[in-house]
Amino acid sequence: MPTEHISAKEFRITQGLNVKGVAEVKGKMNKWEQEYTNLLSVLQRAGSIKSFRTMADKEKPLLQMTINCKYTPDFMVTTNDDKTIVIEVKASGCRDRYSASILRFRISADLFPQYRFIMVTKKDGAWVTMYDVNKEAARLPLELL
């Protein structure tokens, strides 16, 4: 029996949670994701990374977790040695270890050990790593550390 799909905002309303800043449109980047896109573009032009895809691209990055469950990360970066790094950008207030997006991120990291998974946020104007999983899968360009 299929489950009903509701938006993130609708879910938060039903749970009595704050809905401020919840994106209404899937695939649309927020301010921080756009800023991170700019950073990756600079790194690609400088030759530090080979390429990257964003959730807003026509061919968006997609990881199939189960038959009916997919995870679309914010970014999939291909390094110069053809390794893959999955990057998720989260708001600084997203610290709940059991939020749905963090659980999807952590489960995907377990299902795809060949990829390095990084979750970043911004603190005091600088990018900070919240989670870094499967570190042995790919070497990070120094500019992303």
Domains observed in the chain: 25-144 (3.40.1350)
pTM of the model: 0.76
Say whether pLDDT at 118 is over 90.
Answer: yes
pLDDT tens-digit map of 24-48: 445 577 888 899 999 999 999 999 9
**Amino acid in position 61:** P
Q: Is the dihedral of CA 117, 144, 37, 25 positive or negative?
A: positive
Q: By percentage, how much of the chain surpasses pLDDT 70? A: 76
Q: How far apart are CA 13 and CA 109, in angstroms?
A: 29
pLDDT tens-digit map of 88-98: 998 766 666 65
